[in-house]
Structure 1
Amino acid sequence: MTKVVDLLRQKSRPYLFSNTLAPVVVGASLAVFELLSQSSALRDSLAANTRHFRERMGQAGFQLRPGYHPIVPIMLGEARLASDMAARLLDHGIFVTGFSYPVVPKGAARIRVQISAAHSMAQIDKCVDAFVAVGKQLGVLP
């Protein structure tokens, strides 16, 4: 446990700019390490959910930033398009956030989806289906 505390003291931004490490940061970090050491089920579920979402979105024709991580940027280019798409997806029960300049470079607007181990395959499929429907409405997909 002292190795974890020492690592957090060396790498934690709050610690670098103050005299104490917030107890909640240490407690949460230790709890996460304990959960991860008990089982890989949540990590495995997250990886499967991420893979499924990325595969279905790619097959549908969306341009995704490459990677295996559960934060999936769907590249749209135009700020207005990202904003409009996020709003219409909310009408389908899908809450996503559109990002545009100055948060991302000009011309690189996107919607960011964050996959969770708690999502079911049915929820992921519902999300992809909503993206496809709205993508067709807005001319993102043919």
Structure 2
Amino acid sequence: MLMTDSSFKDSLDANVKLFRSSMTDLGFTIAGKDHPIAPVMLGDAKLAATFADKMHERGVYVVAFSYPVVPQGKARIRVQISAAHSTDQINHAINAFADVGRELGVIA
């Protein structure tokens, strides 16, 4: 399918660009570059766990990773973008990150 139809890759690329650029504009640090796995760096393990819980309350499934899965002090929220996500779903996730980020003092 990928050899004959680029729509899946095009959709994935657009979703990744929208998520990463919007999150960076909000003030979040996103590890890596142009990849569908977008780690939102938070540093603190307890903060990452609380953040993930609050995202779940808003209907966004994300996973908090902390030591020993990642190096100490490098706790993060793992986000995986898909070609199957709609623009509305990506925007919902971005808005939830903005709300929770402000609530927890991660962004202004």
Task: Give the TM-score normalised by structure 2.
Answer: 0.98
Provide the residue aligned with 2:17 in structure 1. 51
Aligned equivalent of 1:40? 6
Find out whether 1:137 has 2:97 as its counterpart.
Answer: no
Larger Rg: 1
In the aligned structure 2, how far is the partner of 1:121 from the partner of 1:61? 20
Give the counterpart of 2:44 among 55, 67, 78. Answer: 78
Q: Distance in 2 between matches of 1:60 and 1:37?
A: 36
Unaligned runs of 5+ in 1: 1-34
**How many angstroms apart in 2 are the aligned matches of 1:66 and 1:81?**
21
- Separation (CA, whole Å) in 2 of partners of 1:89 and 1:37: 36
Which residue, out of 45, 51, 60, partners 1:94? 60
The percentage of aligned residue pairs carrying the same residue is 50
Greater relative contact order (CA < 8 Å, ≥ 6 in sequence):
2
Segments of 4+ moved more than 4 angstroms:
none
Measure how far apart 1:38 and its partner are: 1.9
**What displacement does 1:66 show?**
3.0
- May I ask how many residue pairs the two structures share in their alignment? 108
**Partner SS, residue 33 of structure 2:** coil
RMSD, aligned α-carbons: 0.6
Per the alignment, in what secondary structure is the counterpart of residue 36 of structure 1? coil
The offset of 1:73, in angstroms, is 0.3
CA distance in 1, matches of 2:92, 2:26: 13
1:117 aligns with 2:83: yes
Q: Distance in 1 between matches of 2:7 and 2:87?
A: 15
- 1:2-24 deviations in whole A, cap 9, x for unaligned? xxxxxxxxxxxxxxxxxxxxxxx
Q: TM-score, normalised by structure 1?
A: 0.75
Specify the SS of the correspondent of 1:130: helix
